[in-house]
Amino acid sequence: MDQQLSQLAEVALVNKRIPRTVHEGKIKFTGQRFDWTEGFFPGTCWYMFELTGDEKWKDIAVELEDEFIDHRLITTNHDLGFVFNCSFGHGYQLTKDEKYKQVLIDAANSLITRFNTTVGCIQSWNVDRGWQAERGWQFPVIIDNMMNLELLFEVSKFTGDEKYRDIAISHANTTLKNHFREDGSSIHVVDYDTITGEVRNRHTAQGFAHESAWARGQAWGLYGYTTCYRYTKDERFLKQAGIIAEFFLTHPNLPKDHVPYWDFNAPKIPNELRDASAGAIVASALVELDGYIANDYKQKAQSIIESLSSEKYFASVGENHNFLLMHSVGSIPHGAEIDVPLNYTDYYYTEAIYRLKK
């Protein structure tokens, strides 16, 4: 890991940009505009600092974070939690740097501007432009947004201001009510009426079909509700995390190596692409869930990590453009990032290893 990621870090520092994935045989970096993945590589560097004790990883994280620090003030995007909690949030935990603390507060303040009290959720995508505008949505909320709540819980904890926590809990409660099917699987997108707060549509954007179980969506839900339980000790959140875990782990279409196909209902299984990102996210979540529910979740997480660490998924040093893992899927319906390395796959893989060792 150290040698591979060191080589990727050299490329990042030379280009002064965050590596995101590989496109047409070249590294694709995040740009000057807000990118929901820009916090993951610095976050991976923070984990490498903890795993190795080597100060170089701290220095790399600090330098690369400066490339997107101004994005903390953006209010037109819902993924400030992903970006800033995984990077500056991790850094703040380790350094207690007051600058980092203020960055997190600023990002949280930007994020909560997207909260609608009638709906009870933070809005995901804007609907005034792009492909989102073509769907007829009013107030779309995606299961992914469960991952942005940790930022609000953290900021509430160190500021003492309950408004951040209250918004996070409201979002989690509304999502719990409307995003899940009887079998425990998650809908990707729920669209709300901005006047009444009622559900208008239940759709998918990145899964196979509106009724299917997009693999990474299940992972986001599992991780998100496990995190919510950590901060609230609300048994409903823990119960939901357990339900999602069981859906994932016992699904008849889950391969023997526990690295899922990109969608549990993809039509050509077993001849469908795997999504290592979903596997890595689930593995990390299961390590934490194991501390709350006695169901051998740590052992199951280890099984996933062992699979991801095999030559089928883990790249040899110098290959895969120096990303750790191969075979992730961004969005098949959009024709984007298909069967490629992704920086968030590496992040959650590294996090899972850190959590297992801790």
pLDDT value of residue 82: 95
CATH number at residue 223: 1.50.10.10
Indicate if 144 belongs to the active site.
yes
Q: How many CB atoms lie within 10 A of CB 358?
A: 8
pLDDT tens, position by position, 305-358: 999 999 999 999 999 999 999 999 999 999 999 999 999 999 999 999 999 998
Q: Domain residues for 217?
A: 2-357
From the first residue on, what is the mean pLDDT of each consecutive set of 10 residues in the chain (358 residues)? 97 97 96 96 98 97 97 96 97 96 98 98 88 84 98 97 98 98 96 96 95 98 98 98 98 97 98 98 98 95 98 97 98 96 98 96
Q: Which one from 35, 106, 144, 191 is the annotated catalytic residue?
A: 144
Give the number of domains in the chain: 1
Q: For residue 330, what is the enclosing H or E element?
A: strand 328-331
Indicate if 79 belongs to the active site.
yes
Give the pTM: 0.97
User: What are the distances in angstroms from CA 310 to CA 27, 101, 140?
Assistant: 23, 38, 38
Of 161, 216, 156, 209, the closest CA to residue 345 belongs to 216
Instruction: Kindly write down the DSSP assignment for every residue of 256-276, as one continuous string.
Output: TTS--BSBTT-TTTTSS-B-H
CA–CA separation, 41 and 38 (whole Å): 7
The share of the chain scoring above pLDDT 90, in percent, equals 96
Q: Which one from 35, 79, 106, 346 is the annotated catalytic residue?
A: 79
Of 203, 112, 209, the closest CA to residue 166 belongs to 112
